[in-house]
A and B are shown apart, each in its own frame.
Chain A
Amino acid sequence: MQDLLYFFQQLINGLTIGSAYALIAIGYTMVYGIIGMINFAHGEVYMIGAYTALIAITGLTAFGIAWLPLVLIVALICAVIVSSSMGWAVERVAYRPVRGRHRLIPLISAIGMSIFLQNYVHLAQGSRNIGFPALMDGGFQFGSADSFQMSLSYMQITIFITTLICMTLLSLFISRSRIGRACRAVSQDLRMANLLGIDTNRIISATFVIGASLAAVAGLLLGMYYGSVDPLFGFIAGLKAFTAAVLGGIGSIPGAMLGGLILGVAESMTSGYLSGEYKDVVSFSLLILILLFKPTGLLGKPEVEKI
């Protein structure tokens, strides 16, 4: 019984962190799907989302506004607005001017953008980590008090529900809406979409903005979950989410969701049964294994095309 509870505890922890990874991974996978390149500044966009949320929360608290749903929604909106403008700017500054050149060039300019954003936050907010106020304490406890107690915190529930809502909205948007259809068309044949009169630059911007918005949501959630942020907050999370995207099949949105969850659970199981020190080893080993044995990822498919 105890062992089972312990297992479920690891599972819950893993799914929590995994759903946040999935939210970030969507940004990598969508941008890759459309322009065939990795947005290396995406982790920073996520980090900036977390900082913005923290600033908004601090600001509201200073004005004496403490009603939790309001604080969260305002923080969320601020984070989404700032991060998505940042995502838009990354595309305009680091990708659009060098699009169509050698593939290494946008890669390098994106890394430059990432270094710039990281250092900007270093200067503006200081290098030390800043605590997130604990807004959401408590949770449900399972099991007897004298042995192992499994806990499911309100924060974890919030992360699950928010992720679920975001993913549902995104799936509906991509599969049903006019712009979503255009996103898919552009990712399959950008030139042809352009020949149908579609302003492909706007669709590309839209993908960066959507990815950045989801990263901002993840930034708020994980900032609150971990309880602090620092300028390197986006670095490891970005790498993990990138791993998740590749694991699920880069370019595939369901793949990014699945990859995030698998990675999260793998990490928490490693921490729970082996040692926390090994969790990064396990995630990146997974990345190497998938690249060796199934380079298209779990749900990624090679293009179906008939000539």
Chain B
Amino acid sequence: MLILEDVHTHYGKIEALHGVSVEVNKGEIVSLIGANGAGKTTLLMTVCGTPQASAGRVLLEGRDITHEATSNIMRSGIAIVPEGRRVFPGLTVEENLHMGGFFNTKAEIRKSQDHVYELFPRLKEREQQRAGTMSGGEQQMLAIGRALMSKPRMIILDEPSLGLAPIIIQQIFEIIGQLREEGITVFLVEQNAHQALSLADRGYVLETGRIRLHDTGTNLLANPEVREAYLGG
């Protein structure tokens, strides 16, 4: 589904990713864990095309998207729930969702919208409310709902649990599990390593721009190195 081959990414003269290879297969949940500044968000953004990889290749369903414009990439069956949620604060919940389904027909939008409201009944209640006035958890639901509106085959989540109450985090991870049931491939970036790895089929550990470890989720959870560095011993 998504393949990164020896990807290098620069911010100006500084290299943030030093040759990263990651593979996400269809139908999988793959988690990427790593400390602050390891390059997790950079890796995701390289997939999305801003910044573009300075070397290496990014393939999406066999197509080389390394040098494609972000707007093109994001219209090819992939959607992102970015770090910090980034809902449009002045738009209503419904308008935010419609932005997610921008390139779909009215009928498709209606269908996806009903589906999102089924997953998150809370959003239905808040349909006409401005997104900026909602709580962090509700905004996270909206960000996930917005990503689902385009009926993506693959969804990328960047730190969906950041800054949320434990009970909401639980809910968010349940929904992520549910996405897999629906056949959506999930690429998850998390600092919350325990939950991210428990849910994942496979996981990658990123350290200062390089992939340090790669294994199944269960094996990584049991790995002493991972336990030491990311799970608090």
Contacts and interface: CB of A to CB of B under 8 A. Distances in A.
Interface residues of A, number: 22
Interface stretch (B3-11, B70-78, B119-127, B193-201): B70-78
A209 B80 CA distance: 30
Interface in A275-304: 303-304
Interface string B63-75: 0000001111111
Contacts of B163: 307
Given A196-B100, A197-B75, A305 B150 contact: no
A304 B71 contact: no
**Interface bin, chain B:** 20 to 34
Given A193-B99, A197-B75, A304 B132 contact: yes
Given A181-B99, A182-B99, A304-B133, A188 B70 contact: no
B86 A305 contact: no
Contacts of B71: 194, 197-200
Task: Specify the main secondary structure of chain A where it touches its partner.
Answer: helix
Given A304-B130, A305-B132, A195 B89 contact: no
Nearest to A181: B95
Contact of B102 (A189, A197, A305, A307): A197
B99 A194 contact: no
Interface in A176-194: 178, 181-182, 184-185, 188-189, 191-194
A195 B70 contact: yes
Contact of B88 (A189, A197, A199, A307): A189
A101 interface: no
A306 interface: yes
B136 A194 contact: no
Interface in A137-181: 178, 181
A207 to B, nearest CB: 16
A196 B132 contact: no
Interface in B81-114: 82, 84, 86, 88-91, 95, 98-100, 102-103
A23 B98 CA distance: 29
Given A181-B98, A196-B102, A306 B88 contact: no
8 contacts: A195-B70, A195-B86, A196-B150, A197-B103, A198-B99, A198-B102, A304-B89, A307-B84
Interface of A: 178, 181-182, 184-185, 188-189, 191-200, 303-307
The 5 A-B residue pairs whose C-beta atoms are closest, nearest first, are A197-B74, A197-B75, A304-B132, A192-B86, A199-B71
